[in-house]
């Protein structure tokens, strides 16, 4: 058994990028030349039993799979244009559930400014699998994971933790924020979406940026209400949830050392306030109650067999 990240590294070896690709496997989306212009391409499935449970409202499932892709588009600072939908439908799926699924897909596409232009339908005796591909383009720069540098401040677009209580189905992809961060005047140096947990995704960003480290100020990490609520029932610390729970789909981004973000735009005051900074020493360091302690890049990583 191995992790998704190990498999991603193997895929990079298996599928070397074409010469005209700015980025291929290993970021939130691929950025490829499309006859002289950059196209942004990504694909993400949701699988019954993995990303949602049987009995879930399929309108929310349709919303989730579209928004997972739009969140990847947002993380590149791009604009979504087109979506393709592949439906692998269990034979016992009810017509009203398929309607709910299509309704959720359509509403999320519309909210994200993208059109469903194609797809395919298959049957299965197994679980429902809905796979969406998003095709977009950049109007500003492309925001990569690999641009973080020592001294850059670290930011997130919203509160984290406890997404399992509902946000994992209902999150809103940060398209406006991503596109704004990609404008040439902003000092944003790196960006990705938080799908596997803050610490694990931050670690991924730091690795992509040349093996750097980060200090996180525990008091500055925005903790979602859901994380506090869950803490009361299961006893898991709300801060630890904010640091390591997956599927918040907020943007994690860095701002160039000594620079501040321009005023205006869609970012909240909280997103403008750093939660930490990039350091030269590899590793993740949590500053809490005046102490600086090393923490593991824990988070939610899909176990993938065969790696």
DSSP-derived secondary structure letter, 78:
E
- Quick check: 294 and 284 in contact, CB under 8 A? yes
How near is the Cβ of 168 to a second copy at its closest, in Å?
Answer: 14
User: Where does residue 22 rank: exposed (0-12), middle (13-18), buried (19+ CB within 10 A)?
Assistant: middle
Of 62 and 213, which has the nearer Cβ to a second copy? 62
How near is the Cβ of 174 to a second copy at its closest, in Å?
Answer: 19
Of 46 and 160, which has the nearer Cβ to a second copy? 46
Bridge partners, 287 (sequence order): 217, 292
Q: Which residues contact 52 (CB under 8 A, 6 or more apart)?
A: 46, 60, 61, 64, 169
How near is the Cβ of 20 to a second copy at its closest, in Å?
Answer: 9
Residue whose entry in the numeric block shows the structure tokens 């904010």:
242
How near is the Cβ of 32 to a second copy at its closest, in Å?
Answer: 5
Of 34 and 268, which has the nearer Cβ to a second copy? 34
Return the closest-CA partner of residue 156 out of 183, 134, 182, 188: 188
Of 69 and 244, which has the nearer Cβ to a second copy? 69
How near is the Cβ of 7 to a second copy at its closest, in Å?
Answer: 5
Q: Which residues contact 44 (CB under 8 A, 6 or more apart)?
A: 65, 68, 69, 72, 131, 132
- Quick check: 132 and 118 in contact, CB under 8 A? no
How near is the Cβ of 67 to a second copy at its closest, in Å?
Answer: 14
Of 105 and 216, which has the nearer Cβ to a second copy? 105
Of 269 and 305, which has the nearer Cβ to a second copy? 305
């Amino acid at each position: 058994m191995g992790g998704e990240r190990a498999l991603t590294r193997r895929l990079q070896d298996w599928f070397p990028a074409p010469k005209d690709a700015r980025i291929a496997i290993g970021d939130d989306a691929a950025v490829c030349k499309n006859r002289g212009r950059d196209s942004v391409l990504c694909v993400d499935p949701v699988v019954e039993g993995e990303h949602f449970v049987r009995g879930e409202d399929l309108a929310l499932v349709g919303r989730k799979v579209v928004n997972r892709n739009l969140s990847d588009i947002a993380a590149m600072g791009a604009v979504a244009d087109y979506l393709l939908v592949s439906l692998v439908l269990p034979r016992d799926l009810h017509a009203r559930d398929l309607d709910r699924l299509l309704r959720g897909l359509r509403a999320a596409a519309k909210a994200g400014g993208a059109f469903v232009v194609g797809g395919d339908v298959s049957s299965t005796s197994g679980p429902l699998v809905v796979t969406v591909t998003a095709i977009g383009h950049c109007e500003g720069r492309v925001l990569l994971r690999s641009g973080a540098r020592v001294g850059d401040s670290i930011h997130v677009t919203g509160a984290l933790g406890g997404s399992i209580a509902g946000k994992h189905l209902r999150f809103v992809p940060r398209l406006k924020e991503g596109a704004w961060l990609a404008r040439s005047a902003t000092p944003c140096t790196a960006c990705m979406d938080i799908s596997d947990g803050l610490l694990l995704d931050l670690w991924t960003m730091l690795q992509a940026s040349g093996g750097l480290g980060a200090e996180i100020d525990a008091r500055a990490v925005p903790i979602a209400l859901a994380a506090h609520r869950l803490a009361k029932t299961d006893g898991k610390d709300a801060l630890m949830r904010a640091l390591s729970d997956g599927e918040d789909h907020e943007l994690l981004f860095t701002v160039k050392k000594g620079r501040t973000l321009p005023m205006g735009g869609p970012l909240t005051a909280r997103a403008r306030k750093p939660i930490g900074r990039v350091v030269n020493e590899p590793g993740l360091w949590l500053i809490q109650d005046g102490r600086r302690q090393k923490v593991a890049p824990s988070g939610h990583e899909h176990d993938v067999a065969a790696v």
